[in-house]
Amino acid sequence: MNLETARGVKDIEPRDKIIRNYVVRNLTEVFEKYGYSPFETPIIERYDVLSAKGGAGKESDVMKETFKLTDQGKRRLGLRFELTLSFCRYIGMNPNLKMPFKRYEVGPVFRDGPIKLGRYRQFWQCDVDIVGTRSVVADAELIFLALDCFRRLNLEAYLEVNNRKLLKAIIDYAGIQESKANSVIISIDKLAKIGKSGVKIELIEKELSEKEIKKLFTAFDIEGSNKQKINELRKILLSDLGKKALDETEELFSYIENKDVIFNIALARGLGYYTGSIFEGFLKKSQITGSICGGGRYDNMIGDLLSTEKEYPATGISFGLDVITDALKCDNKQEQESLVKVYVIPIKTLKESLGIAQELRKNNLNTDIDLIGKGISKNLDYANALKIPYVLFVGPKELEINKVKLRDMKTGKEELLSVKQVIKQLL
């Protein structure tokens, strides 16, 4: 038996888990400040839910990457590849929810896709969604929330924004058949990965003419400020759909004046369920080149999933926990081997030392103690290896005068203090 993980998954060691917990803690605090409630769905989902009309879309790479299962009753199941579809299924099962319904969910998802830095076959998403409003203001709120998350995590990042209706209008302007629209969008979504030439090759393989491809890129190549791009697009997109998309985009940017929110006309997001605003977040300077968050409006997905005419307008954004963790590690923004602040070394005073350790813990100081009598030298090596900032020596002579010896492991400075003084100094 080979003692190794399955390909594309990994064990999360303490130093990495500390960073992940830091990310989740900060993200969820921001989510809750915006009025979102915690929520959880199962990892295993019915395959008909994962592949339902209005979901990812059968041509999407995501469906090709789905882990498929069969239970003992021969029912077709799958591991969820995102959190949104399970959330939509829940909404359908609970039609009497008060709207708008705002929730966040943090959990693992699975895709049998290519592996690279920041991308694994099991990865965690941190999702925020609003159901029950078509207002562009809800999309703007998610953008504000994302920017607040970037600031909270000290990430130098920016958001690219577009509108799925706008892409459909550009495809219509290029004279491309409506039946090919979703397939074309999937190719456009690969612009950052394979470049303009690679996308053109794919479009030719999908039997688009040179004229159609040229007109597509006439729109995509427009440059300037967000406002200038909108004005230039108004000159060529004269359809009702084009006007509506540009009106929505203009309204969205009227709420947001931030240099880190950029109108990217070619931003596509490959999933088939998006209907309006879409957004994707990227780091400015990092070894991580892929997106760290993404989302958009999906007004039809829940209704399509339930095969009902009842409308469930919705919008959401998802943050990639693994990719954000990798980014913080690459940029050396978070480095901790342990969460312990004080390491107690008993010197023939184990009983008394246990009591002192408990007193420190009662005062919210993360405290560990040598339980096996390693000796002073080995204990100091241990504390150094785990980068524990303080060591507390508890010896008989110190206890005779109701003192303990506190060592700052960074400076080497030692002080004789009472336990109360130690607590006061370290809090």
Are residues 314 and 358 part of one domain?
Answer: no
**Are residues 278 and 208 part of one domain?**
yes
Burial class (CB in 10 A: 0-12, 13-18, 19+), 284: exposed
Number of Cβ within 10 Å of residue 296's Cβ equals: 26
Residue 6 within a domain: no
What pLDDT shows up at residue 171?
Answer: 92
Q: 316: Cβ–Cβ under 8 A, 6 or more apart, which residues? A: 84, 127, 128, 129, 130, 142, 295, 296, 298
In-domain check, residue 116: yes
Q: Do both 67 and 127 map to the same domain?
A: yes
Q: Do 315 and 385 lie in a common domain? A: no
Instruction: Identify whether residues 368 and 230 lie together within a single domain.
Output: no
Q: Which of 330, 351, 374 is the last residue of a domain?
A: 330
User: Helix, strand or coil for residue 76?
Assistant: strand
Burial (CB count within 10 angstroms: exposed 0-12, middle 13-18, buried 19+), residue 235? exposed
Of how many residues is the chain composed? 427
Shared domain check, 320 and 354:
no
> Which residue, of 302, 330, 358, is where some domain finishes?
330
pLDDT of residue 236: 94
Examine residue 158 and state whether it is found in any structural domain, yes or no: yes
Domain co-membership, 74 together with 206? yes
Q: What is the pLDDT of residue 207?
A: 86
Does 250 fall in a domain?
yes
Could you report the average pLDDT of every consecutive run of 10 residues in the chain (427 residues)? 91 92 97 98 93 61 87 96 91 92 96 82 94 97 98 96 95 89 86 86 89 90 94 94 96 94 91 90 88 94 83 94 89 77 97 97 98 95 95 96 97 96 95
Amino acid letter at 231?
Answer: N
91 and 139 share a domain? yes
Q: In whole angstroms, give the CA distance from residue 150 to residue 281.
A: 9
Looking at the structure, tell me whether residues 351 and 318 fall in a common domain.
no
Q: Answer yes or no: do 254 and 231 share one domain.
A: yes
Which CATH number goes with the domain that contains 120?
A: 3.30.930.10
Residue 359 has a CB neighbour count (10 Å cut-off) of: 15
In a domain, 316, yes or no: yes
Exposed / middle / buried, residue 244 (Cβ in 10 Å: 0-12, 13-18, 19+): middle
Instruction: Starting at the earlier edge strand, list the strands of the sheet with 342-346.
Output: 367-369, 342-346, 390-394, 404-408, 414-417
Specify if 49 maps to a domain: yes
3-state secondary structure of 230: helix
In a domain, 336, yes or no: no
Beta bridge partners of 344: 369, 392
Q: Are residues 138 and 216 in the same domain?
A: yes
Q: Which residues contact 228 (CB under 8 A, 6 or more apart)?
A: none
Contact indicator for 188, 199 with CB cutoff of 8 Å: yes
- CATH number at 360 reads 3.40.50.800
Residue keyed to tokens 């130690």: 422
pLDDT recorded at residue 291:
92
Domain count, the chain: 2
Domain closes at, from 330, 353, 387: 330
Q: Please check whether residues 202 and 349 belong to one and the same domain.
A: no
Supply the pLDDT for residue 56: 56
Instruction: Check whether the bond before 100 is cis (ω within 30° of 0).
Output: yes
Q: Is residue 399 part of a domain?
A: yes
How far is C-alpha 170 from the geometric centre of its chain's CA atoms? 30
DSSP string, 255-300: H---TTEEE-TT---S-TT--SEEEEEEESSSS--S-SEEEEE-SS
- How far the first Cα of the chain sits from its last, in Å, is 49
* pTM, rounded to two decimals: 0.86
> What single-letter DSSP state applies at residue 6?
P
Q: Are the beta carbons of 189 and 270 closer than 8 angstroms?
A: yes
Domain that holds residue 266: 14-330
Q: Are 314 and 295 in contact (CB under 8 A)?
A: no
